[in-house]
Amino acid sequence: MYKVFIDPGHNHDGADTGAAGFGLKEQDISVLIAQKLRPMLEKNGFSVKMSRENINDNVASGLSASLSKRAEEANDWGADIFASIHCNAANTKAYGCETYCVSRSGKAGKLAEAVQKHMPEETGRRDRGVKTANFAVLTRTSMPAILVETAFIDNYDDNKFLGTESGREKCAAAICKGICEYFGTEYKNESEDELMSKEYDELKAKNDSQDKIIGEIGIDIQNNKNEIDGIKNTLKRYDYVDENMPAWAVPAITKLVTKGYLMGDENGRLNLTEDQLRLYTVNDRAGLYGE
């Protein structure tokens, strides 16, 4: 059984913390991706060890000690490969995924190529290719080692992707597929029985929920429709600058997000009401936020 050491980059706090953007922290996202990657790898027959199991974990107190400890744990465990998971950051305009290794020749280069091949295919992020660097976790490990920059946490679109369960799931699947390809093993996803069982449970839950709603509303559902629609419109929130946001509000909100006046929550959600959209738009057209 091959041994895969997964290193969710950085620490929860202290000297070795990562980048941040729109409410997301690199040290948190790296763990959340790793937590999805681990069961995927185990399902495909790999033995897995992680430097950080939970978001609040710290590997060591100092920066140098933190980097050394990760490599030492992988070396002491006798890992066959080492994969460090990170989020990139630059100037808010850079975007995409890339994978680092010390040298593109040899086993580390082969591993990096295999993982990077699946990253853009699976995630839809821009392919920035395989790059080389002498990062401490790559030079101090005694096995083929890579560092995966999944996306740019300070880029709005990449950040929105990283802030979703499905986005992190796709990152994990891409890394798992690349590792399977490197070792020459067939990638196994959920079995047909598991998928059917999952679909049945989801459908049953949906039907149960619908039955409950129908039973509670009963014959008054049509009479209350207009009132309910009005309440829904009042409660509606706009989390992202996308097709769901009214076109008239997009320029103003885009400007506020780009300038950092509007910051999302920890998942990158803006949580704006239509009244807020109108207020920001009026203020923008009045020139309050500059060019």
Token reading at 88: 């990139």
Catalytic residue among 149, 199, 216, 227: 149
Residue 216 falls in the annotated catalytic set: no
Q: Give the separation between CA 240 and CA 245, rounded to whole angstroms.
A: 7
- Exposure of 156 in the CB half-sphere (CA atoms within 13 A): 17
CB atoms within 10 A of CB 283: 13
Quick check: 152 and 87 in contact, CB under 8 A? Answer: yes
Q: Is the dihedral of CA 65, 50, 164, 162 positive or negative?
A: positive
CA–CA separation, 255 vs 156, rounded Å? 12
What are the DSSP calls for 4-52, one per residue?
Answer: EEEEE-S-SSSSS---EETTEEHHHHHHHHHHHHHHHHHHTT-EEEES-
Q: Which residues are known to be catalytic?
A: 149
